[in-house]
Amino acid sequence: MMWVEEIETLPRSGLESIQLKRLQALVHRMYDKVLPYRAKMDAAGIRPGDIQSLKDLSRLPFTVKDDLRDNYPFGLFATPMDDVIRVHASSGTTGKSTVVGYTQADIDLWASIMARCLTMAGVTRGDMVHNAYGYGLFTGGLGAHYGIEALGATVIPVSGGNSRRQITIMRDFGSTVLLSTPSYALNLADAMSDAGVSPEELKLRVGVHGAEPWSQNMREEVERKLGIKALDIYGLSEIIGPGVSMECLHSEHGMHILEDNFLPEIIDPDTLEVLPYGETGELVFTTLTKEAFPLIRYRTKDISRLFLEPCGCGRTLIRMEKVTGRTDDMLIIRGVNVFPSQVEHVLVGIEGVEPHYQIEVSRDGNLDVMAVLVEVSEHIFSDEIRVLENLTKKIQAEIKDMLGVTCRVKLVEPRTIQRSEGKAQRVIDRRKL
Ligand SMILES: [Zn+2]
């Protein structure tokens, strides 16, 4: 089932002509209304009339997080504040928060976008949707909330916290859909087992999880512990909030981008060149339909890949691979860009290997040396040396194949690599010392 089938199944040419018209209107509007962006265009020597095809997008200047900070709080808004009916903000770990604004049309657009996404997950009017995303300045809670209402399903605006009570509500109200971050879904699973409630006592069928990167292994854990189908949703407040892209029930390895609204590109974060479909790099978005806070070529710092292979659901929208890393984590080893997430991808595909690893980079003379510590399962570690040697060689070969970098792999016993509550420390770069 689709929310707007005529858009979601458009042939490329039809979709691209909509994108181009919207892009041209956007560039004119940004040039007229958003003075900091006009200054960038002037500096780059490009005029709104120069955008004649979608290829010309690459001639436009990027927008980066610092532009938002420099124009804090409302300096990049394209409409008068009288037309802005809501703001959201994300708390930056460094410095000022990022503030975004919405007109009534933006809020309506966002609701319909979220309704489209939830429809991809098979959610209908008959569903009872447990919305455990945080309500407040964070876009997750309210963004999802209005989408659920637009769809006509019943929303339970439970927000985060008090897991025990959430379990009671899920059981008593008969929640069928769970919206939460993946880590909170696992929290709820633990709270369920603590409370002696089994998944069979709940009516939960599907989970829509986003707002943080999560691995395939974590997906399997959520699915197993809650007895649901767990799907990935992607978004960021700068672009609109949740709903930029979403996995459908047929797509295990990619999220459909709602590209009639959000025009994606993948760039090389070093050279800033646009990369062809299929290649991994930094995701960049241009918002085609937003009024209050439109952005052109916003660098997300998220690492992904775009692909056009047809999907079993019939949607023609381009898909993006699950985001597993950030350019902030990028390493340059002997001139090659290496993302820890690529190492993780290799490891997830090899039997007997745990997705716990650590990359150590050092310098031997003038040469970078990369070592990867990998945890292996108990039974493999107790195996004979030859088995371990073969596994080591296999991992080295696959990493070389995937990343184009030679590394030294060291297998270690389960639970020897330090875990932290928050972000696991995947990289130790001794070159900086
Ligand atoms: Zn699909």
Instruction: Please list, residue by residue across 410-429, b when 16 or more beta carbons sit within 10 angstroms of its beta carbon and e when fewer do.
Output: ebbeeeebeeeeeeeebbee
Mean pLDDT of 320-349: 82
Radius of gyration of the chain from its Cα atoms, rounded to whole angstroms: 23
**249 alpha carbon – ligand 1 mean position (Å):** 7
Whether cis (ω within 30° of 0) applies to the bond prior to 73 is: yes
Bridge partner residues of 302 (DSSP): 326
Mean pLDDT of 395-412: 91
**243 alpha carbon – ligand 1 mean position (Å):** 15
Q: How far apart are the first and last CA of the chain?
A: 55
Whose structure tokens read 């775009």? 306
Q: Which residue would you say has higher pLDDT here, 330 or 387?
A: 387
Residue 407, φ and ψ in degrees, nearest 5: -140, 165
**11 alpha carbon – ligand 1 mean position (Å):** 15
**171 alpha carbon – ligand 1 mean position (Å):** 30
pLDDT at position 246, please? 98
User: How far, in Å, CA of 411 to CA of 335, rounded?
Assistant: 26
**393 alpha carbon – ligand 1 mean position (Å):** 37
**14 alpha carbon – ligand 1 mean position (Å):** 19
User: How far, in Å, CA of 68 to CA of 75, rounded?
Assistant: 8
pLDDT tens for each residue of 284-297: 999 999 999 999 99
Residue 426 pLDDT > 90: no
pLDDT at position 214, please? 81
**313 alpha carbon – ligand 1 mean position (Å):** 4
pLDDT tens for each residue of 38-51: 999 999 999 999 99
**240 alpha carbon – ligand 1 mean position (Å):** 21
Bridge partner residues of 298 (DSSP): 63, 285
* Secondary structure letter of residue 153 according to DSSP: P
SS (H, E, C) 255-293: EEECCCCEEEEEECCCCCCECCCCCEEEEEEEECCCCCC
**424 alpha carbon – ligand 1 mean position (Å):** 32
**392 alpha carbon – ligand 1 mean position (Å):** 37
Mean pLDDT of 177-197: 91
Mean pLDDT of 237-248: 97
pLDDT at position 328, please? 77
**109 alpha carbon – ligand 1 mean position (Å):** 21
**6 alpha carbon – ligand 1 mean position (Å):** 15
**300 alpha carbon – ligand 1 mean position (Å):** 23
In which band, very low, low, confident or very high, does the pLDDT at 423 lie, cut at 50, 70 and 90? Answer: low
Lowest mean pLDDT: which of 53-57, 104-108, 358-362, 414-418? 414-418
User: How far, in Å, CA of 210 to CA of 150, rounded?
Assistant: 20
Own/partner long-range contacts of 201-204 (Cβ < 8 Å, ≥24 apart)? 201/171, 202/170, 202/171, 202/175, 202/226, 202/227, 203/128, 203/174, 203/175, 203/176, 204/130, 204/170, 204/175, 204/176, 204/177, 204/178, 204/228
Are 86 and 101 in contact by the 8 Å Cβ rule? The answer is yes
User: How far, in Å, CA of 75 to CA of 84, rounded?
Assistant: 13
pLDDT tens for each residue of 342-399: 888 888 888 888 778 899 999 888 788 899 999 888 888 777 888 899 999 999 999 9
pLDDT at position 433, please? 53
pTM of the model: 0.83
**170 alpha carbon – ligand 1 mean position (Å):** 28
